[in-house]
Amino acid sequence: MIYGYIRVSTDKQTVENQRFEINRFIKKSKLHVESWIEETISGTVAPNKRNLGKLISKTRKGDIIICSELSRLGRNMFMIMSILNILMESGVIIYTVKERYKLGEDLTSKVLAFAFSISAEIERSLISQRTKEALQRKKAEGVKLGRPKGKLNSHYKLSGCEYKIRMMLHEGYPKTLISKQLNVSPSTLYLYLKKKNIHL
């Protein structure tokens, strides 16, 4: 499946320029967009709250996403890298018209994926450090930490991770990536979010 992804930040902007760029690109590349995904929303909004998140969830290995430029995916570099990392790990190919990137299974893509994973590892370390500092502060304030006694439900695998989860959601991490980094299934994460009434 080949998708064309278009995002504008405000209703004063037009999607036509991006559509024109993508159409010109696919004509040269002899590709055909089978489904267009358009949205008017800020790139700072987390992917799971955008049509982009739905697109990421339904893509399969071998699918292609074409966008006019990387900034259409997100407003900050780490969000963009996280999205690209998820797509590339799933075997989805990403074309960007302006930068002329083709990110898939070739050597260049693998080098970029390695760079993305290193950046993600650094970010995870920073989040872990901030979480530890926050937990130490709460402990010093007398807040009781840890898993409630007698609770063995699967969603308690995430007990003590609420601060980290909230921070990652706030910083725009897709839920699929959060569950992967916390080593739980997406369903376990969703149950936990529902129980804790977290809607970031």
What are the residue ranges spanned by the domains of the chain? 2-107, 146-200
b/e per residue, 160-190, with b = 16+ CB within 10 A? Answer: ebeebbeebbeebbbbbbbbbbbebeeebbe
> Tell me: domain 2-107, CATH 3.30.950.10, correct?
no
The reported pTM is: 0.58
Spatial distance between the Cα atoms of 103 and 108, rounded to a whole number of angstroms: 8
Q: Tens digits of per-residue pLDDT, 119-178? A: 666 666 677 777 777 777 777 887 766 555 544 444 467 877 887 788 778 777 788 888
